[in-house]
Structures are given as structure tokens and as C-alpha cells.
Structure 1
Amino acid sequence: KTEYDINLYFFLPNNLGINKYNYSNSQFFEDLYGYVRLITPKSSLQNLTERIENIINFMNLKKQNIDTHFGYINYELKITICSYRAYLRDFAKKIKKNHYGDEDISDLIKEIHVFRKKIKELPTFTENTDSQSLKDLLMFTDEYSSLLTVMYMFRIYDFLSKSEAKINAQILNMINNEIEYRKRRGMSYASEDDSKNEELIYKYSVFKKYFYNILFLFQKRREDAVEFRHFLYAIAAGIAMIFATTVAFLSQKKYGNFTLSFFVALVISYMFKDRIKDLFRQIFENKLFFRKVFDFRNKIYDPERYNLFGFYKERVRFISKKQIPEKILQTRLQKADSSLSTWYTGEDIMKYEKKIKLNNRKIIKSFNDKIEGLNDIIRFNVNHFTRKMDDPSVFLHTLENGMKKLTASKVYHVNLVIEFKSEEEYSSYKVRLILTKDGIKRIEIPEYDIVLTNS
């Protein structure tokens, strides 16, 4: 099994007005979106071509009952296309870093030509099936791989020096041939027509989800410890009932039945019974349930075959400075500018915890390819953080070359410490979000001197 924890510590300046009294757990989880995806299996382009050739040979043998083998064909084609995209992406990164030779690019062009030639045979098998799902799969594989080829070859062309005329001519020739093929097949392609470009971008997004759903893991969310919560509520109701019943017995013994005093005592006991029940519910929530229990317990599935791969729990809490581990505090103060840092002027601290358990054997058994690991992706919307901010820009004046009026950004710093823990390793690093009322202006990672600008 694989078990690991991810903790996110949000250090929020007091002037943002985000605290436990006005930013609830439900609001946080509305702003948070996370998903888990298996890392795309890596393979050479020659191996991917052989894989497509094997699928074609298989479908030729099973022409009479091709529909019954949809599961196998679906898996093979989707994994192959995902690996093809990863191969082109990694090759483009090498080009950007100048880690290439002319022969590498020439070989790439030749291998893509062979790969695409095999892929173009797939739509012919639509005549052998009545399954619309299989027909779509075969057609989409051809169209998406063509789109990926054009997109990444343009990217490679942009990264290359313009002086490499021979290589550039080969790339442009390949792109042009692919675009002509798309036109003949009635596929979308980039043009001066905005509506067609809109359709192209939409298709790319849909294709990406369609093929990558073989690697995405489906998450089914439910509240954690619901039964325990209702058990505590029952105890609170029982304590309140004990009080009300005791008052009723004592007042009956003292005043007798059907008296005004007995009636008044019953009304008072009922009034206090409700308040006592709510009081104990609140005590159990804050002192016991809220501290010990997670907000959600989620199941992780394979979305295509619904195999249960694991679980993860998550919760968010505002914590005090005393509750921050020493390692996290050291990371937070790493390269802090000065005593003007918001840490010294006042911050509210919010901690998001995520604990994951995965069954490796089930994951490996469900995939024919070697799975190296997974990407745990978290997206967070900072709009709640920006609501009470001042205008995004202010005016300044200078006397350089005469008096001038300047515009400067009004920014807020939100520091985020990300902590990763497993049995084998531990790591943490700091991210500084530079925010304005319009959103994220830039992101700084002080440890590595990285600055990401929102352009």
C-alpha cells in the first residue's frame, strides 16, 4: 500500500478579513477542486507504433465480433494516445532547452509519419462495428492524434532557431500535410474564422478528457463519521431528556398532578431541555468531533471499470500559532523580508489536511502498463481572499524629469507552506502569492528563486 499526507498551511494577513468566523469549511471546499491522475506511461514512438500495429492486427482477426472486444481496444488506444502526447511534450521540452541534434528532429519526423500512417487505418474498421462507442473511439483517435501532431510540431518549430532552414522546412511540410488531411476529412483546423477556432479549442478540450479518463481516478465524496456525529447528537438529546424528566418527577412529587405549579415546572423544563441539547451538541462538535474527525472521507475508483483503488480523508481548520509545527514555522519564515512581514503584523492560519491510502496491487492489476506513480492535483480559487481588498492600483508622484503621476500596484502577500509526508520521505516548501483585487499578480517560490507571472 501507499500512504501519504499533504498539508497546506495558508498564512492569511489579518487585513484580508478571512478567519474562522466568516470563512466556513463549506466555503473552503467550494473554492477547492482536486483530482488524482496516474502518471502517463512513458514509451518510445517506435513502441507506440508497434502497439497500434498490434491493435490493427487484432481487429483484423476479430472483424466478425469486434464489438465484444471494446474494453481491450478502448484501453490500448487511449493509453497509446496519452503516451504519444507525453512523448511529443517531452521532446518539445528538450528542444526548448537545446538538448537536441538535427538527426533527432529528422528521426522524429520520420517516426511521426509512420505512426500517423498506422493511425489513419483505424477509421476503416468503423464498417465492421455497429457500436457507436467503438466508431467514435476509432475516429477520435485519428482526429486527436492529428491535432496533437500539428500542435506540438508548431511548438517545436517556435523553439528552433530560424537559421535551421532545412529542419524548419521539414517541420512545416509535415504540418501542412497534416492540415490538408484534416481539411479532407472534415476535421477542425486553425483559420481566420473565429467560430472555427472556437470549435477547435472546444474539441481539443473534450478529446483530452475523453482519452485521459483512462488515467484519471474517480472520487466519490461523503461526510466523514456521519454515524459518530449522530451518536453524539443522540447523547446530547439524552442528557437534555434526563434533565427534563428529573424536573418533571421532582415537581410532580412536590406539587402533585394537575396543578399550576406543576404545569409551570414542565414548561420551564422543556425550555431548558432544548437549550441543553443544543449546548451539548455544540460542545461535542467543538471539543471532540471538530478536532478529531475529518470533514470528508472519499473513495478513489477507476472511472472506466469501477475498481476501488483507495481512500482519502480531508479537512480544513483554522489553527493558532501554538499549533504550528516548528518545521512549518521555519519554512514560513524562510527569506521573510523583514519585521514588516505580515507574520509579525498579524496572520490567521488555515490548515488543509489530506491523507491518502492507495492499494498498489489493485492499481497495477488494472493496467497492462507499468504505472510509475500519480499526480495529485489541487486547484484553489482565491476569489474569497480578494473580496475585501482595496483597489488594485494607487497613484504616486515623482519629480524625476519634472513632476509625473505614476501608477503602482496595491498588493497583498499570502504565504502558503506545502508539506508532503510519507514513510519514505518528507518535504516542505514555501509559496508566496502576490495578490491584488483583480486576482493573482505573481507567484514566488523563495527557496528556488522562482517567480511565476500571471500574463
Structure 2
Amino acid sequence: MTTMKKANETVMTQDWKESSMERHDLYNFESKIDYILDRSPKGHQNDYLLEVFFFIPETLQINKDSYSKDQFFLDMNNRIRFKTPQMSLEGILDKKNDLSPVNIILKKVRQVEFGKKEEELDIRIEREIRLLACIVKVSLRDQFTYLLNNYKKLLMQGNFENAITRLLTSIENLEIKLNCLREKFVLAQMAIKLREAFQFADEYISLQIKTWIAHTIKCLEGKPIDSNIQS
């Protein structure tokens, strides 16, 4: 359970849209927390006290003797997380974008098809697969959130329908590209771990797409939208 206190008020994280608690990997979980800013006049300082509580079953026999405070904080502070690169779906699909994980994966897979077998090559492909999933997740979140937060403004300008249609078209093109990659990972002599990595990333991206589309449909229920978009 995570709470944040501000100005003698306690707010539970489940009330915040972007807050979440999820499993990160086999040994770690990840907590994302919103900071609610007080839009007061300039010069006002926002102070926060973050309190985190988690409970461990006694049967695990984890206590101050088996797991010291120093070791706990050492495990907590020895990880560095790099910020996910910002890239739109159109940028990911742009064949001229040398930084696109899709283009890098295709290039590296082609080397495998030509008979190149190196551990460094497998490591790079797996890294780009993971990066692709992360970038797509962030891009979907940012682009859908922008459209929803600026719905009224875009609608007044007459740009909302074009913007949502363009985003949905990019998603369709992304799915086509993923199908192409899926075929290459099946036909090429790829390591099993690379095929599994791509399968996980593919399923993860599909889940993110479905989640954000469903969320957007729910948010736009009852609002004026072009019939072509609704279909």
C-alpha cells in the first residue's frame, strides 16, 4: 500500500490515473506514482511525504537477522533505470529512421538469415525487441492521453477526427509490420530465446493497443464523434 501526504491530506494511489503497481520481472515489482501539483501562486512550495508499506508472510522467514537494513537499502538503490526514448508510432514505422527498433531488428534478422551467428548479435536483437515494446507502450499512452485531454480543443478546431484517424492508421500499420516480423522470426534460424522474446513483446504490444482503444472508447461514450471513426 502506498500513500502520499500533502498539506495534512492523505491520498491513496488508486485515485490517481497514472499510478500503478505491477510486476517488473522475476525478482522485482514496480510502483508508479502521480504527484498532484498544487496550482497556487508563484513562490508556493509543494512538499510531499511518501509512505510505502508492504507485508511479507512470516513463513518466508525474512527478518532483521536474515535480511539486514543495510542489505535492504543496497538492493533498493543499486539499479539505474534509463528513460524510455520518445518516439511516435509514425517514427517507429519510418524506414528512414535509423533509431527505430523495428528497422534495427529487421537489419539484424537479415544478418541472421545470411548466416551470421554471434552472441553479440542475439543480445542486440533481444535488446531492440524489449525496447520496441517499451517505446510502443509509451507512445500509445502519450498519444491517446493527448487526444483525450485535448478533446474539446481539437474538436473546436476541427482536428480531432483527423488526429484519431491518423493514430488508428498508424496502429494498423504497426500491426502489419509486427506480422512481417513474426513471419521472419518463424522462418529464420533464430535462437529459441529470441523467438520467445519477440512473442512476449508481440503479445504485450497487442494488449497495450486493445487496452488503450477500449479506454478511449469508454471515455468518448456519449460524445460527438464522426460515424466513420465509430465504425
User: 2: distance between equivalents of 1:10 and 1:143?
Assistant: 34
Q: Select the residue among 162, 165, 171 that pairs with 2:222.
A: 162
**Aligned-pair distance for 1:159?**
2.1
User: 2: distance between equivalents of 1:147 and 1:155?
Assistant: 12
Structure 2 counterpart of 1:41:
85
Q: Which amino acid aligns with 1:76?
A: E
Matched, 1:76 2:128: yes
User: 2: distance between equivalents of 1:152 and 1:134?
Assistant: 27
SS at match of 2:85: coil
Which runs of 5 or more residues in structure 2 are unaligned? Answer: 1-47, 52-63, 95-99, 155-159
Q: Which amino acid aligns with 2:89?
A: L
What are the superposed Cα offsets for residues 265-291 of structure 1, whole Å, 9 maximum, x if unpaired? Answer: xxxxxxxxxxxxxxxxxxxxxxxxxxx
Q: Select the residue among 143, 146, 152 that pairs with 1:91.
A: 143
Relative distance call for 1:161 and 1:131 in structure 2 (3 A) is same
**Which has the larger share of strand?**
1
Structure 2 counterpart of 1:374:
none
Which runs of 5 or more residues in structure 1 are unaligned? Answer: 1-7, 12-23, 171-455
Rg larger in 1 or in 2?
1
Aligned residues between the structures: 152
SS at match of 1:120: helix
SS at match of 1:42: coil
CA contact 2:87–2:139 (8 Å) conserved in 1: yes
Q: TM-score, normalised to structure 2's length?
A: 0.54
CA contact 1:157–1:168 (8 Å) conserved in 2: no
User: How much identity, in percent, do the aligned residues show?
Assistant: 18
SS at match of 1:39: coil
CA contact 2:147–2:164 (8 Å) conserved in 1: no
User: 2: distance between equivalents of 1:55 and 1:30?
Assistant: 38
User: 2: distance between equivalents of 1:107 and 1:159?
Assistant: 19
Q: How does 1:104-253 map to 2 (within 5 A)?
A: 104-125=163-184, 126-163=186-223, 164=225, 166=227, 168-170=229-231
Q: TM-score, normalised to structure 1's length?
A: 0.29
Q: Select the residue among 110, 116, 121 that pairs with 1:60.
A: 110
CA contact 1:106–1:167 (8 Å) conserved in 2: no
SS at match of 2:81: strand
User: 2: distance between equivalents of 1:104 and 1:64?
Assistant: 41
Relative distance call for 1:133 and 1:26 in structure 2 (3 A) is same
**Aligned-pair distance for 1:98?**
2.6
User: 2: distance between equivalents of 1:104 and 1:157?
Assistant: 15
User: 2: distance between equivalents of 1:153 and 1:67?
Assistant: 40
User: 2: distance between equivalents of 1:57 and 1:27?
Assistant: 47
